[in-house]
Structure 1
Amino acid sequence: MNIAVIFAGGTGQRMNTKTLPKQFLELHGKPIIIYTLEHFQGHSQIDGIVLVCVEGWLDHCRRLVEKYHITKVKAIVPGGETGQGSIWNGLHKAAELFPQDSVVLIHDGVRPLIDEEIITKDIECVQKNGSAITVSPAIETIALRQDNGEVGEIVERSRCQLAKAPQCFYLNEIMAAHQKAQNERRSDFIDSASLMRHYGHTLFTVEGPVENIKITTPSDFYLFRALLDARENSQIFG
């Protein structure tokens, strides 16, 4: 089976919104989280979704899932104190509902500009290689920072990729890595890729589009609106 754990646990402090967490902000009358969920709902190879929701907003999530007929959502669980903890909550629920050898796609609820092709390639990469980290090419020069304010090493752009999401593994393997982190009282891993690499797993990449952005700031939201409108216009006008 292929399942998705969608992380919508952030509070959106960098979005400067005083009312809604960023994943519930609307564009054209539809919340960002629904744009994201619809990609997995509509994909023929996705069998189920576990949604991890920010504490205090679970009922709101349930209403949205019902309103927009996201029928593949099989559970909605609260987030943890950290991003790593929230993903663990989602994985733990997924392990209760689905076979241990399922492919799990871990994705940000505020990364709505993925598409069917990325999801398909990620599943195929896990089945072939055991992991799939969605990346995009670096399009600007990368310079390492030094403590004294000087520019450090300039890294050749062709060697650089931006790690994004989905980040995909076999459910039993990512669960085992999270359990090791808990046993070691580690809660500082920035994402699933860094956690899995730390515990000895070889990671393989799937290249996705540059526009697979995470909506974190107001400028990200405006960029999302422009990109979404451009996609819709291209479908209408060719």
Structure 2
Amino acid sequence: MDNVEIVIFAGGVGRRMTGSKRPKQFLELSGRPIIDYTIEKYATHPQVTRIVISCLASWISYLEHWLIGRHYSIPIDIIPGGATGQESIFRGVSHLRNQHPGDMDAIVLIHDGVRPLISEEAISACIESARDRGPTATIAQASETIVLMDEEGRVTDVLPRSRCGLARAPQGFRLEELYAAHLRANDERKGDFVDSISLMSYYGYDIYTVTGPSENIKVTTPMDYYAFKGYMEAHDQESLWKDSE
């Protein structure tokens, strides 16, 4: 089986999650940290062979202890994250690459620790696209009008919604290509890419897309947390109704 590996980056401290003493990825819902909902989606996916988590260093022991009780069946490595998302991703990619250097068929998916509402179908689609076409972004179709503005706030263009998407996660790549692009960015001291598809696009790669669930939000604010809570409660209610039929 080909290697399909996951980098979950969780090195942030969550400054926008006001009132919490925990980093956002370790806020709990129903007794579980948010990041575990994310991990579960990948640890139970039939194609995934390994996960590496680039974690906030001061929370590594907490996460290690938590995962002992979860008994996931695939290897999950936890390493210290970096000062930025880009650095955390590079550390995860480097760790995976060291497991099998030169494996040109290995696929890696990059995912935020605080995007727990991804689906198995979207993960599978991203893997397939990255393997068959190239660098792939999972998107949500835009549901509102998107405008371009100049520096003074004037609208310069109105974009058709049918051609607009919101870039989310996972983002899929061939491991060797993503690793090489990161090395180049490091050599050129370019450390401000907002995500991996931005990095790959900058270095000339075509980026493809697959559509994921619209609820696949990033939990970074209290409003996001309550939206996540609502989605989970709705899912539990739906399951309850199905079980009673």
Count residues in correspondence: 238
Aligned sequence identity (%): 45
1:141-156 alignment runs, 5 A limit: 141-156=145-160
The answer for the alignment partner of 2:5 in structure 1 is 3
Give the secondary-structure state (helix, strand or coil) at the position aligned to 2:57. coil
The answer for the alignment partner of 1:204 in structure 2 is 208
Distance 2:73 2:14 in 1: 26
Q: CA deviation at 1:235?
A: 1.8
1:109 aligns with 2:113: yes
Q: CA deviation at 1:123?
A: 1.0
1:136 aligns with 2:140: yes
Distance 1:144 1:192 in 2: 23
Q: Is the 8 A contact 2:181 2:200 kept in 1?
A: yes
- Identify the match of residue 91 of structure 2 among 89, 112, 122: 89
1:169 aligns with 2:173: yes
- Identify the match of residue 39 of structure 1 among 28, 38, 41: 41
Q: Is the 8 A contact 2:137 2:207 kept in 1?
A: yes
Amino acid across the alignment from 1:133: A
The answer for the alignment partner of 1:122 in structure 2 is 126
Q: Which runs of 5+ in 2 are unaligned?
A: none
Q: Is the 8 A contact 1:126 1:168 kept in 2?
A: yes
Q: CA deviation at 1:130?
A: 2.0
What TM-score results when the alignment is normalised by the length of structure 2?
A: 0.93
Q: Is the 8 A contact 1:122 1:168 kept in 2?
A: yes
Q: CA deviation at 1:236?
A: 1.9
The answer for the alignment partner of 1:78 in structure 2 is 80
The answer for the alignment partner of 2:187 in structure 1 is 183
Distance 1:133 1:30 in 2: 28
Distance 1:170 1:19 in 2: 37
1:134-170 CA deviation, whole Å, 9 max, x = no partner?
0010111112222223333221111110010000101
Distance 1:149 1:126 in 2: 37
Q: CA deviation at 1:68?
A: 1.8
CA RMSD of aligned residues (A): 1.3
Q: Is the 8 A contact 2:136 2:197 kept in 1?
A: no
Distance 2:168 2:191 in 1: 20
The answer for the alignment partner of 1:216 in structure 2 is 220
Distance 2:84 2:230 in 1: 31
Amino acid across the alignment from 2:116: P
1:17-68 CA deviation, whole Å, 9 max, x = no partner?
4411000000011110000000011111100100110121111111111122
Structure 1 pair 108/73, CA: closer, same or farther in 2 (3 Å)? Answer: farther
Amino acid across the alignment from 1:204: Y
Give the secondary-structure state (helix, strand or coil) at the position aligned to 1:11. coil
Of 183-192 and 67-76, deviating more is: 67-76
Q: Which runs of 5+ in 1 are unaligned?
A: none
- Identify the match of residue 160 of structure 1 among 158, 164, 186: 164
1:75-106 CA deviation, whole Å, 9 max, x = no partner?
21111111101100111111112453310010
1:27 aligns with 2:58: no
Amino acid across the alignment from 1:47: T
Amino acid across the alignment from 1:189: F
Q: Is the 8 A contact 1:51 1:73 kept in 2?
A: no
Q: CA deviation at 1:174?
A: 0.1
Q: CA deviation at 1:71?
A: 4.1
Structure 1 pair 26/73, CA: closer, same or farther in 2 (3 Å)? Answer: farther
Give the secondary-structure state (helix, strand or coil) at the position aligned to 1:231. helix
Amino acid across the alignment from 2:211: E
What TM-score results when the alignment is normalised by the length of structure 1?
A: 0.96
Amino acid across the alignment from 2:85: G
Q: Is the 8 A contact 2:119 2:212 kept in 1?
A: no
